[in-house]
Structure 1
């Protein structure tokens, strides 16, 4: 069976990590397949994506250190190219992505979740970036995405100690966005993704772009980015349909 399984839920596509015996440890092969599937989903017309796991007790435990134990320096650098492609494929998907996290999401596994727009975790979740414990620096975006999510102090604490954080503390520190009962991460993420997918594709795309681009500029520049996003949405057929549907008290039928 494939290490990555695609499940369609109407306008939501679920990308399910399925390297169960290894708790979805990121081997070079799994990274290649996941990147390819993410790229394909980006062209499929899905309006939202859920990244989930079929492995009991784990979302993804990070890089496959057994595989890495056999790599020389050149092998590490070659694998680096594959891994960068993987994380970029998730981060830059053209539609919103929701991570459904249960059990361990460590190192590259947590970086996969950080690459998503939202993280839904159940009560069994344990997250962290423990790379410094094995002489490595987070390389899937962790040193950049985590400070943007939680601030420099908390990110520095977690990255330099490499400690594991359980669900309740993870929610308090905003390492995850929602915590749900054990066993319900995937269903809750699918419900959230479906809610997003039901909204105007034009508005969602523009709002998401404004949020992301605005993170790295000053407030004045950010407001200009927002204005451009607003103008793009308000001049679209989605706006025309959305307002008309509201007035007519019916669900909108988005033209895009």
Structure 2
């Protein structure tokens, strides 16, 4: 039996999934990715929202380079299936219909950033740093980063990271759209879990539309996107929708104004 590298806890209707390989800065081997896929599928069956985090001081330093080097030295032929082996697990996150929130800290680089980019919301603490060092390693992104990370930060910023090897701190990452929240050191998991509980309280049909349909609409032509929007809007309507709208009209569930900046 392989060593267990992923933890799973169901906290009410929130699934807490942890990458548990702290001695390797949570580097992602195929065993780790296979265990993550099992956790993602389990969460889809029993949770309303998922939180993905890393044990220890880092979210993930990316691809397990020792495993990758051994595979290269073995001379095993590269096949389309072997090159895209992260796509299925991460598509389960990005387009599977269950909202996922990444709690980031320390290293979020290479494949770790690709995993975080598959989540719908990313919370970084002040120790977080982002990088794409593939150029220096002689490899290329292989976990959907060329699509997801580029759509988050744009070509120019992504090319800069890959070509120069520079790292971004948490504040720079927020400005580059790699995360939506920055919190004090050690508080990203707490904040992500707080957000997950709020997300889990939403109408499940709307959460599904945001997570499974909205990314696909982004891939469509203008007219096709509007057509699908109409279909998803109809599919999301239910008796629960009427109840929630009624609660708003009755003075409940109002949208609070954000705190004023100093």
Q: What is the TM-score normalised by the length of structure 2?
A: 0.86
Spell out, residue by residue over 1:175-208, the C-alpha distance to the aligned partner (whole angstroms, 9 max, x if none): 2111111110101111111111111111221233
Q: Where do residues 199-218 of structure 1 align in structure 2 (5 Å cutoff)?
A: 199-218=202-221
Residues in 1 aligned to 2:147 and 2:99: alpha-carbon distance in whole angstroms:
19
Residues in 2 aligned to 1:81 and 1:150: alpha-carbon distance in whole angstroms:
22
Q: 2:145 aligns with which of 142, 147, 152?
A: 142
**What SS is found at the alignment partner of 2:130?**
strand
Aligned residue number for residue 122 of structure 2: 119
Q: Which runs of 5+ in 1 are unaligned?
A: 252-256
State whether structure 2 residue 25 is matched by structure 1 residue 23.
Answer: yes
Spell out, residue by residue over 1:135-192, the C-alpha distance to the aligned partner (whole angstroms, 9 max, x if none): 1010001111112112222222223333221111111111211111111010111111
State whether structure 2 residue 184 is matched by structure 1 residue 181.
Answer: yes
Q: 2:86 aligns with which of 78, 83, 87?
A: 83
Q: 1:184 to 1:223 in 2, by over 3 A?
A: same
Q: How many residues align?
A: 248
Which stretch has the larger CA shift, 197-206 or 69-78?
69-78
Q: Give structure 1 regions of 4+ aligned residues with deviation exceeding 4 angstroms.
A: 75-79, 247-251
> CA offset at residue 250 of structure 1?
6.3
8 Å contact from structure 2 (residues 97, 207) kept in 1: no
> CA offset at residue 247 of structure 1?
4.7
Q: 1:106 to 1:76 in 2, by over 3 A?
A: farther
8 Å contact from structure 2 (residues 95, 213) kept in 1: no
**What SS is found at the alignment partner of 1:6?**
strand
Aligned residue number for residue 254 of structure 1: none
Q: Which runs of 5+ in 2 are unaligned?
A: 254-262
> CA offset at residue 43 of structure 1?
1.8
Q: 1:203 to 1:28 in 2, by over 3 A?
A: closer
Q: 1:84 to 1:247 in 2, by over 3 A?
A: closer
CA RMSD of aligned residues (A): 2.1
Q: 1:62 to 1:76 in 2, by over 3 A?
A: farther
8 Å contact from structure 1 (residues 32, 82) kept in 2: no
Aligned residue number for residue 67 of structure 1: 67
> CA offset at residue 76 of structure 1?
5.9
Q: 1:223 to 1:125 in 2, by over 3 A?
A: same
Aligned residue number for residue 257 of structure 2: none
Q: What is the TM-score normalised by the length of structure 1?
A: 0.88
Which stretch has the larger CA shift, 159-168 or 27-36?
159-168
